[in-house]
A and B are shown apart, each in its own frame.
Chain A
């Protein structure tokens, strides 16, 4: 498999020049307005450089999907994976920053989230291909930003340095900040994929407390006493009529 993106050592310099000289950069062939302030790459945490976006254009994936009549009881994934080793490492680091292990469940990498993301961005469907463009560019943006701020690739940063960058792009309100709009949108997309893949894994299902998908003989048992007590309280707090169990009118 050929690499679709080759990281370049001189990237930091070219990024500095790009963001200094141009008012627009190309994103997937579409010009996007950027902050034109003079970039002052600073090593001080919290002083981000001016806007830049890699604008990597990817060759569309044209391979076959699973078709309109797959054998759903024995699924297979026909498309080749496309993330390179560096990108996979970076996705792994980001996945665990987004979804770390805690007292209630494992980390994203412990349940194989990066593999799901590779499968996702490599799929030949239009939605996934849009995500691929956003993810591949976002990963490169993080490396560029890390170079500009700390002269290092993202994965080699310290925890403090990584979060300094993520804190600038991890919130929807940051869509409004010109230079962070595209990186923040990338991060939202990545977060959605990471948590989606985590909570839909067997460990994630246990973590979130979904306890369905098991056959029950006889009538549907309905809410537990605890759940009924809780909903009665909620209704009462809202000033609603009391919760009553439905009486069959037949």
Chain B
């Protein structure tokens, strides 16, 4: 057993976000002792979350700036599109944005909490449409783990039974909140077009669970949630793991290298103590990397040895490759018929209560569409706390303008397309040989290029989004915008996965279906890097579920070997 600072442990985990946090919970519950290294600072949502603060209580009315990209009250600490002193680069003609956080709990502190399950077809893309690669697991195998994971973290939603919305087992889900009026109008408009708007699954407690309170229907989830109603690892799995006494957390520990011993096994890591800039060497019997898909790939590529001159566990050459994000594009408009509509409290759980799942798998089967794979629309349409953008559309000045703004309050609708891009040789990350960060660690360089597949899908989405808004009697903003203009940058949706993919074949994948690397038997990966494809359904629930499943197996193996 390895030890650090007087604490003995069997497993070392790098990263405390969705994958690392869940793995720590599962392992420590099973009696396995864990040392968890987190690059960022300690963070306590119970005391640090700005609950109920209004925009006028923040500098610049809470607006986004280069230091707080999602607004002043967003939970992200020392991060966003740039982390001070930790750059990344883009290849010529490539545009990629990489969101990071430097805090305990990582990006789970501010995520959207949207948790749709992958379908059976999502796990078998090649078998479904002949494009890409199948996962080494299938839905039947993962479904019970989805149930277990949803029941643990707390998910509200329901089972509408569409082919894009696999059902959870009875009793797993918490009830979804009632839709707001704009969402009801949207649902009716969708019905007129032959498609469905159904409750969005979110990791929000609509009933109390364990020590966590139920949502009280106020204050945006992106700030974090002091009462634990919106899932983040810092109010759930991490405190639970701490309570077992089997967990030690070291924050401000930026891991720079994973070490290999003479027997081809991982022997430990070196991290930079961010507070005093000193290197610290730590031993380990088992290492789980869950630093986020790109950060984990970076760490492996920077861990070179005689056995692995191209980076640890990279005999396949696949580390850093197969990088995908969700496609993003927006369609918006306003609904004149809703001017001066009756006021009521529309905060709800502050996300969308309904969404539009992908509806045309049949059309794809019949080759009626010029792209593979689907997308969904998330919906933003409610009376929300006024901010600096409220007068973006008004003209003129004086009482007339003031009245226009009042009348138009709550008449805008935004549909956000989130789609599946195909895995491509054009999209990957590698080490930038020219640049190191402030800790002396070589940084990532991103390569990115959209194909017709992505642009065709976005064009389809723009057409349908406009149709939906028009069916609501709405006026579409920028009705002539093209797919090329509308598509958001790679990485901008913050669903980047695939850089250490799992597979059946060690020559084309980095790890097996358990996240165990083919090359190094005591090295595991439990973040989004293991994804084989990137279905349009927001990735975090599948990261959590796979980490739960794979850490359970690791715990069993460790406990078995201890008994021997």
Which residues of A are at the interface with B, using a C-beta cutoff of 8 A?
A: 65-70, 72-73, 75-77, 97-100, 102, 104-105, 116, 119-120, 123, 125-128, 166, 170-172, 187, 191-197, 199-202, 204-205, 207-217, 219-224, 226-228, 230-231, 234-235, 237-238, 240-246, 248-250
Considering the complex, give the chain B residue whose CB is closest to the CB of A199. B386
| Those of B403-452 within 8 Å (CB) of chain A | 403, 405-406, 409
Q: Indicate which residue in B62, B181, B399 contacts A228 across the interface (CB closer than 8 Å).
A: B181
User: A224, B344: Cβ atoms under 8 Å?
Assistant: yes
> How many Å lie between the Cα of A207 and that of B403 in the bound state?
10
User: B389, A68: Cβ atoms under 8 Å?
Assistant: no
User: A240, B216: Cβ atoms under 8 Å?
Assistant: no
User: A98, B397: Cβ atoms under 8 Å?
Assistant: yes
> How many Å lie between the Cα of A228 and that of B188 in the bound state?
13
User: A250, B159: Cβ atoms under 8 Å?
Assistant: yes
Considering the complex, give the chain A residue whose CB is closest to the CB of B350. A212
6 A–B contacts, CB within 8 A, in A order: A172-B395, A197-B61, A222-B180, A227-B344, A238-B472, A241-B191
User: B61, A200: Cβ atoms under 8 Å?
Assistant: yes
> How many Å lie between the Cα of A39 and that of B73 in the bound state?
50
B91 close to A (CB within 8 Å): no
> How many Å lie between the Cα of A99 and that of B404 in the bound state?
12
Instruction: Across the A-B interface, give the 6 residue pairs with the lowest CB-CB distance, nearest first.
Output: A222-B178, A195-B391, A196-B388, A212-B347, A215-B216, A220-B177
The 0/1 profile, CB within 8 Å of A marked 1, for residues 170-188 of chain B is 1001011111110011011
Residues of chain B within 8 A of A243, CB atoms compared: 184-185, 187-188
Report the interface size class on chain B: 35 or more
Which residues of B are at the interface with A, using a C-beta cutoff of 8 A?
A: 41, 47-50, 52-62, 65-68, 72-73, 77-80, 83-84, 158-161, 170, 173, 175-181, 184-185, 187-189, 191-192, 199, 206, 215-219, 223, 337-338, 341-349, 354, 383-392, 394-399, 401-403, 405-406, 409, 471-473
Give chain B nearest CB distance to A139 CB in angstroms.
Answer: 15
Give chain B nearest CB distance to A169 CB in angstroms.
Answer: 10
Q: Indicate which residue in A67, A187, A208 contacts B386 across the interface (CB closer than 8 Å).
A: A208
User: A230, B391: Cβ atoms under 8 Å?
Assistant: no
> How many Å lie between the Cα of A80 and that of B478 in the bound state?
38
Say whether chain A's binding surface is mostly helix, strand, loop, or mixed: loop
User: B391, A223: Cβ atoms under 8 Å?
Assistant: no
Residues of chain B within 8 A of A210, CB atoms compared: 343, 383-386, 409
> How many Å lie between the Cα of A179 and that of B223 in the bound state?
45
Residues of chain B within 8 A of A76, CB atoms compared: 59
| Chain A CB within 10 A, most for which of B53, B181, B349, B389 | B181
Residues of chain B within 8 A of A208, CB atoms compared: 386, 390, 405-406, 409
Give chain B nearest CB distance to A192 CB in angstroms.
Answer: 5
User: B402, A200: Cβ atoms under 8 Å?
Assistant: no
Do A246 and B386 contact each other (CB < 8 Å), given the known contacts A200-B55, A213-B218? no
User: A209, B188: Cβ atoms under 8 Å?
Assistant: no
User: A221, B345: Cβ atoms under 8 Å?
Assistant: yes
User: A238, B337: Cβ atoms under 8 Å?
Assistant: yes
User: B185, A235: Cβ atoms under 8 Å?
Assistant: yes
> How many Å lie between the Cα of A102 and that of B403 in the bound state?
10
User: B391, A196: Cβ atoms under 8 Å?
Assistant: yes
User: B217, A220: Cβ atoms under 8 Å?
Assistant: yes
Q: Indicate which residue in B48, B53, B341, B389 contacts A196 across the interface (CB closer than 8 Å).
A: B389
Residues of chain B within 8 A of A214, CB atoms compared: 218, 345
Do A128 and B218 contact each other (CB < 8 Å), given the known contacts A220-B348, A250-B173? no
Do A223 and B344 contact each other (CB < 8 Å), given the known contacts A73-B48, A213-B52, A241-B191? yes
User: B391, A192: Cβ atoms under 8 Å?
Assistant: yes
Q: Indicate which residue in B77, B345, B387 contacts A68 across the interface (CB closer than 8 Å).
A: B77
Do A216 and B173 contact each other (CB < 8 Å), given the known contacts A195-B402, A210-B385? no
> How many Å lie between the Cα of A66 and that of B223 in the bound state?
17
> How many Å lie between the Cα of A6 and that of B178 in the bound state?
59
User: A212, B54: Cβ atoms under 8 Å?
Assistant: no
